[in-house]
Amino acid sequence: MKSLLTCLSLMVLGIGTALFIGFHDRFSTEEPYYDDEQEGLKDQIVFKFSHVVAENTPKGRAANKFADLVYQKSGGTIKVEVFPNGSLYSDNEEINALQNGDVQFIAPSTSKLGSLSPEWGVLDLPYAFTNYKAVQEGLNGKIGTRLFASLEKHHLKGLAYWTNGFKQLTSNKGPIFTPDDLKGQALRIMPSSVIEDQYRLLGAHPRQDSFNSTFQLLESNLVDGEENTISNIYSKKFYNVQDYLTISNHGYLGYAVMTDEHFWNSQTEKTRTILTEAMRETTEWNEASAEKMNKDQLEEIKKNSSIHIHVLSKAEKNTWMKRLDPIYGQYEQVIGRGLVQDLLSLRREP
C-alpha cells in the first residue's frame, strides 16, 4: 500500500513538473509570443484620430472613411484608429493632445479654435453662410486659406475642412419663433465669444460647455436648450429631452481637420502622399453627403419623436438676421475687416 502511494505521488509530481516546464517555455521565452496575425502587425504604423461626435454623423463617417482609405491605399501598412464620442479626448483636451503627440488627427468644430486665433470667429458670425455652396466657396477659397495660415504659429497643420451643416435651436421652455423668444433662456453653446455675444444680445444666458456634457445638461434642466446641427441633435438624441425644435439655419458648424506640424514633417514622403490622397477623397465625399445626412436625420426625428418643429419663414429669418446684425460691427476689428468683408461678399451672391 505504502509503495503504491509513493508511486502515485511520484507520477503526480512528474506530470506537474512536465506541465510547469511546458507552461514556462511557452510564456517566458526571451522573445514575446506572436501568432501569425500579430507577426504581420509588427510593421504596421498606427495613428490615432480622436473626435467627439457619434459615428453616424458627417464627421464620424468621414473619419471612418479616411481610416478605410488610408488602410486600402497603404496595403494595410498604415492603420488609423478612430476614437469617436470623446472616448479618448473631450473637445477641451484634443488640441493639447495633438500638440503633445498623443493623437495624430483631430477635427474640432471651427468654433472651438478661437483660443488659437480670433480670426476663426468669422465662421461663427450669425448667418455667416446661407447655403452649402457658399460654405465651400469660402472655405476652399480665401477665407479657408487665411484661417489655415493662422494655425502655423501654433505648429499645427490644417489638412481639410469638413462640413456638418447649419445650426438649429432646441428648447424646453417654449416654441422659438422670434429672437425675443430666447429671452431669459439658458443655452448650452460651444466655447466661442462670437456665439456667446449673439445670445447675450438676445437676452439669453449662454453657457459654454463641452459637447459630451450637453445631453446631461439638457436632461437635468441645467440649461433650457442648445443650438446644433440636425445630425448632432439626432445622433445624441437631444430630441428626446427637448420639446421644441426651430429650423433656423442661423449659424454654420463645420470642422478643421488638423495634425501636428512636427508629426507631419517626420513622416516619409510616401506616407504623406497616402494621407493627403485619402484626405482629399474623404473631403470630396463629405462635401457631397453632409447635406443629405442632415436632411434624412430630420425625417428620422419626425418619425421617432413628438418634438414640435417650427421652420422659420423667409420673413422670420430676415427678422433674426437684422436682430443679430450688430455682431458684425462688434467683431469686425477682432476678426479682421478683410475676412469679414470676404464673408459678406459671399452672402451677397445670388
**Residue 307 CB contacts under 8 Å (≥ 6 apart), including other chains:** 170, 239, 242, 243, 244, 245, 301
Please choose, out of 51-59, 76-84, 289-297, 320-328, the segment that lies near ligand LMR by the rule CB under 6 A. Answer: 51-59
Least Å distance, CB 103 to ligand LMR, is: 15
197 vs 187: CA distance, rounded Å: 12
Exactly one of 47, 53, 86, 241 binds ligand LMR (CB under 6 A); which one? Answer: 53
Q: Does 109 bind ligand LMR (CB under 6 A)?
A: yes
SS3 19: helix
Nearer to ligand LMR, 107 or 151 (CB): 107
CA angle 63, 66, 71 (to 5 degrees): 130
SS3 249: strand
91 vs 288: CA distance, rounded Å: 26
Please give the torsion angle defined by the CA atoms of residues 200, 201, 204 and 205, in that order, rounded to the nearest 10 degrees.
0
Nearer to ligand LMR, 59 or 173 (CB): 59
C-alpha cell at position 114: 478661437
Q: One symbol per residue from 7 to 46: x for binding ligand LMR (CB under 6 A), - otherwise; what is it?
A: ----------------------------------------
273 vs 203: CA distance, rounded Å: 50
Size of the residue set binding ligand LMR (CB under 6 A) = 11
Mapping DSSP onto H, E and C, the string for 49-102 reads: EECCCCCCCHHHHHHHHHHHHHHHHCCCCEEEEEECCCCCCCCCCHHHHHHCCC
Least Å distance, CB 58 to ligand LMR, is: 8
Q: Does 161 bind ligand LMR (CB under 6 A)?
A: no
Nearer to ligand LMR, 53 or 98 (CB): 53
Q: Is 36 exposed, middle or buried (0-12, 13-18, 19+ CB in 10 A)?
A: exposed
Query: Does residue 187 contact residue 226 with C-beta atoms inside 8 Å?
Result: yes
Least Å distance, CB 160 to ligand LMR, is: 15
Nearer to ligand LMR, 74 or 158 (CB): 158
Q: Does 232 bind ligand LMR (CB under 6 A)?
A: yes
Q: Which amino acid is at 329?
A: G
Name the pairing type of β-strands 156-171 and 225-228: antiparallel
Least Å distance, CB 206 to ligand LMR, is: 13
Exactly one of 52, 169, 182, 290 binds ligand LMR (CB under 6 A); which one? Answer: 52
Please choose, out of 52-60, 197-205, 324-332, 334-342, the segment that lies near ligand LMR by the rule CB under 6 A. Answer: 52-60
Q: Does 228 bind ligand LMR (CB under 6 A)?
A: yes
Q: Does 164 bind ligand LMR (CB under 6 A)?
A: yes
Exactly one of 49, 127, 211, 244 binds ligand LMR (CB under 6 A); which one? Answer: 211
Nearer to ligand LMR, 108 or 336 (CB): 108
Residues lying near ligand LMR in the complex (CB under 6 A) are found at 52-53, 59, 91, 109, 164, 190, 211, 228, 232, 253
